Amino acid sequence: MTKTPGLHRAMAVLLAIITSVPAWTVAPAVPELPNPGAVGMSRQDQQKLGLQAATEVYKQMPVLPDSSPQTQYIQRLGRKLVNQIPQQYSWPYEFHVVQQKEINAFALPGGPMFVNIGTINAAQNEAQLAGVMAHEMSHVYMQHSAKQATSPKRTIAEVLGALGGALGGSPLGDLARVGIQFGAGTMLLRYSREDEAQADAVGAIIMYKAGYNPMELANFFEILSKQGGSGPQFLSDHPNPGNRSAAIGKEIRNWPAQKHSSSSQAFLDVKKQASSVKAYNSQEISDGAKQGLWAKQNMDTGATPKSAQPAVAEAANGSTVASVTFDQIKPSGQFTEMHKNGISISYPSNWSTASGKNSFTMAPKAGVSENAVAYGVIVSGVEDVNAGSLDQVADDLIKNLLQSNPGMHQNGGLHEVAVNGSSGKSADLFGNSPVQQNGKPLTEHDWLVLLPRPGGTYLYLIFISPENDFAALRPTYQKMLDGFSVE
């Protein structure tokens, strides 16, 4: 068939129209949440772990009841974000508010989330607050804690997080009941920079789908980074993966344009109300936890959920060690030997022992309460596969202890210590004791000794006492250390 000149011209015009349409006019794809992948911990175990850890939060932190306006607002905002997650990948998220001044938020495996009142006060608009919450939800969505807990290459911080979390046989492991304690807000939360970048990306999608501008998440991080000093706890728990603004901007640049919601009257109202809520700093919360104050408060206000009430009530009703005296805990001259998990150690025969999954305690009964150990010795273990030396392991361990215990400091540097032919490191740490005098905590002396074990693992002992009694206990502690051996 012969083509006519008119047909040629029509086809040429059509071709010119088609080829002149730029590629960017093709409708951009709406972002979808990624498949979170599989982990070596079952969904049921993750939820169980999260609920156990949440119980420790109610023992160790002041939490507003669900009836408070601040909690009800956070729960409404949380549900709006949860609605953007495909049901097959979602979790039974729940949302609560902690009466803490510092800016922070954390979500536990399986979905329990806690937002500090300080975070509400710091957010400039609802989108920023939604961004923080979406970021935390993304850690749960991507199962970052479960992936860390089952990783064969865990860092010392991750192992400490697990030991400080609900994996032990007693509250927060035995370590949480020492004057040294791992705060509930740090449980299983030492995320890597890769985790943070992923939580930013996934959180941006949740924000976008909920109608918020994802750049407000980056804006909020910018606000925090400009505060100077050591920075808020949120930045300590969440290492910066890089230029967040640039990364999030790149992530969203090809998403369909939409009208974003920046704030709401509900946010303005709750922010105004939040400024009048009684809030405590991290030091006050740490000291109160040792005395069982928050467990009692959370029971009295109805903040504690039914599932956690038996354990929290026990902590609230447990005797404290605020007024214990040296005469009540004075060690006898007779020693008893203990052999456990390949370790041999002797301790005063009038003291008792308690075991967790990853550690054990030797202490006088009068020097221990549900919430704290005022006198005694903790033995535990860590692994640090990335450390190049014993000094580095000790530095990592001490850094974690200092970060997790407000007001704690190290006096002097590391010292060489020999224990049954093994060369180790020791350090002297000081903080607040659960023992009080005239209503104020005494200074606590924590003698830390770190020893290597085969296979890249390490043992450490923490000898605990108020500073004014430490000299009297030093001979007993030295005798325990001299008789310590790995079988």
Section 340-368 average pLDDT: 86
**Dihedral over Cα of 169, 172, 177, 180: its sign:** positive
**pLDDT (average), residues 27-55:** 87
pLDDT at 367 over 80: yes
pLDDT at 43 over 70: yes
pLDDT band for position 244 (cuts 50, 70, 90): confident
pTM: 0.75
In this structure, what are the phi and psi dihedrals at residue 33, rounded to the nearest 5 degrees? -70, 140
- Give residue 397's pLDDT: 87
Going by C-beta distance under 8 Å and a sequence separation of 6 or more, which residues neighbour residue 66? 72, 75, 96, 302, 303
Handedness of CA 451, 233, 34, 113 (dihedral sign): positive
What confidence tier does 242 reach under pLDDT thresholds 50, 70, 90?
low
Provide the pLDDT for residue 174.
33
Q: Which residue has the higher pLDDT, 308 or 11?
A: 308
pLDDT, position 207: 97
Q: What percent of the chain has pLDDT over 90?
A: 51
Give me the mean pLDDT over the 90-116 stretch.
94
What pLDDT score does 472 carry?
97
Task: For strands 94-98 and 112-116, give the pairing.
Answer: parallel
- Please write the tens of the pLDDT for every residue from 118-172: 999 999 999 999 999 999 999 999 998 888 766 654 443 343 344 333 222 233 3
Give the mean pLDDT of 20-43: 75
Q: Is residue 413 scored above 80 in pLDDT? A: yes
| Residue 359: pLDDT over 80 | no
In angstroms and rounded to an integer, the radius of gyration of the C-alpha atoms of the chain is 27
Segment 282-296 shows an average pLDDT of 87
Three-state DSSP string of the chain: CCCCHHHHHHHHHHHHHHHHCCHHHCCCCCCCCCCCCCCCCCHHHHHHHHHHHHHHHHHHCCECCCCCHHHHHHHHHHHHHHCCCCHHHCCCCEEEEECECCCCEEECCCCEEEEEHHHHHHCCCHHHHHHHHHHHHHHHHCCHHHHHHCCCCCCHHHHHHHHHCCCCCCCCCHHHHECCCCCHHHCCCCCCHHHHHHHHHHHHHHHHHCCCCCHHHHHHHHHHHCCCCCCCHHHHHCCCCCCHHHHHHHHHCCCCCCCCCCCCHHHHHHHHHHCCCCCECHHHHHHHHHCCHHHHHHHHHCCCCHHHHHHHHHHHHCCCCCCCCHHHHCCCCCEEEEEECCEEEEEECCCEEEECCCEEEEECHHHECCCCECCEEEEEEEECCCCCCHHHHHHHHHHHHHHHCCCCEEEEEEEEEEECCEEEEEEEEEEEEEEEECCEEEEEEEEEEEEEECCCEEEEEEEEEEHHHHHHHHHHHHHHHHCCEEC
Please say whether the dihedral angle defined by the alpha carbons of residues 175, 178, 179 and 185, taken in this order, is positive or negative.
positive
Mean pLDDT of the residues in the chain:
82
The dihedral of CA 90, 118, 409, 414: what is its sign? positive
Phi and psi at residue 163, to the nearest 5° = -65, -40
Residue 243's Cβ-count burial label (10 Å; 0-12, 13-18, 19+) is: exposed
**265 CB-near residues (< 8 Å, 6+ apart):** none
Return the pLDDT at 237: 57
Structure tokens at 416: 């060489």
Nearest in space to 133 (alpha carbons), one of 146, 118, 115, 117: 115
Task: Write down the domain spans for the chain.
Answer: 43-155+190-315, 326-486
The rounded distance, in Å, linking the Cα atoms of 8 and 4 is 6
Segment 427-433 mean pLDDT:
94
pLDDT at 401 over 90: no
pLDDT, one tens digit per residue, over 445-478 is: 999 999 988 777 889 999 999 999 999 999 999 9
Buried b / exposed e over 275-298, threshold 16 CB at 10 Å, is eeeebbebebbbbbbbbbbbbbbb
What tens digit of pLDDT does each residue of 322-337 get? 889 999 999 999 999 9
Question: Closest Cα partner for 284 from 98, 68, 53, 71?
Answer: 98
pLDDT recorded at residue 295: 93
How many angstroms separate the CA atoms of 281 and 39, rounded?
36
Does residue 227 surpass a pLDDT of 60? yes
Whole-number pLDDT of residue 183: 38
What pLDDT score was predicted for residue 385?
Answer: 64
Q: Report d(CA 61, CA 57) in Å as an integer.
A: 5
Q: Average pLDDT, stretch 36-50? A: 89
Distance CA 128, CA 328 (A): 52
pLDDT of 3 strictly over 80: no
Q: Which of 155, 173, 157, 153 is nearest to 165 (CA)?
A: 173
CB 181 within 8 A of CB 372: yes
For residues 103 and 67, give the distance between their C-alpha atoms in angstroms, rounded to a whole number: 22
- Spatial distance between the Cα atoms of 471 and 66, rounded to a whole number of angstroms: 47
Question: At the topology level of CATH, where does 326-486 sit?
Answer: Protein Transport Mog1p; Chain A (3.40.1000)
Query: Rounded to an integer, what distance in angstroms lies between the CA atom of residue 157 and that of residue 81?
Result: 30
Q: Which residue has the higher pLDDT, 272 or 169?
A: 272
End-to-end CA distance of the chain: 96
Percent of residues, the chain, with pLDDT higher than 70: 80
